[in-house]
Amino acid sequence: MELILAIASGVLFGTGFYLMLRRRLAQLIIGLGLLSNGANLLIFTAGGLTRARAPVIAEDASQLARPFADPVPQALVLTAIVIGFGVLAFSLVLAHGIHTMAGTDDIDEIRSGSG
């Protein structure tokens, strides 16, 4: 299962980088979202997958019983989701402003000022 998730993460990274190298702002933003999701999947996969118990100590125990789910990668992914959403929202607003000012979403036309 971890191999499948690692391959899926690689596909998301590759597709995200490919779309970020395109000339259109919409493709750049979609690539940024795919790259963010690939990073989240990579962190989650690197933390190890387990269908074990939650990391909660029972009342009659003094320590956690193995195997238990590691909460650190889950917290990192949750933080990365929030940061990725903020970056994506900012880039959408920025792209909308650029599109209304320049009248195009082609990056080369925006640079040359002919749009």
Residue 62 maps to a domain = no
Whole-model pTM: value is 0.80
77-97 pLDDT tens trace: 999 999 999 999 999 999 999
Q: Is residue 48 part of a domain?
A: yes
Is 28 inside a domain boundary?
A: yes
- The range of the structural domain enclosing residue 24 comes to 2-56+68-112
List pLDDT tens digits, range 47-80.
877 776 677 777 887 877 777 777 888 899 999 9
DSSP H stretches of helix in the chain = 2-20, 25-46, 71-102, 107-112
The residues pairing with 53 across neighbouring beta strands, listed in sequence order, are 68
- Cβ neighbours of residue 43 closer than 8 Å, sequence gap 6 or more: 73, 76, 77, 80
Question: Residue 77, Cα to own-chain centre: how many angstroms?
Answer: 9
Residue 84 located in a structural domain:
yes
Buried b (16+ CB within 10 A) or exposed e, 23-39: eebebbbbbbbbbbbbb
Q: State how many domains the chain has.
A: 1
Instruction: Determine, yes or no, domain membership for 44.
Output: yes
CATH number, domain containing residue 105:
1.10.287.3510
74 within domain boundaries? yes
Rounded alpha-carbon distances, angstroms, from residue 88 to 46, 57, 70, 81, 94: 24, 38, 28, 10, 10
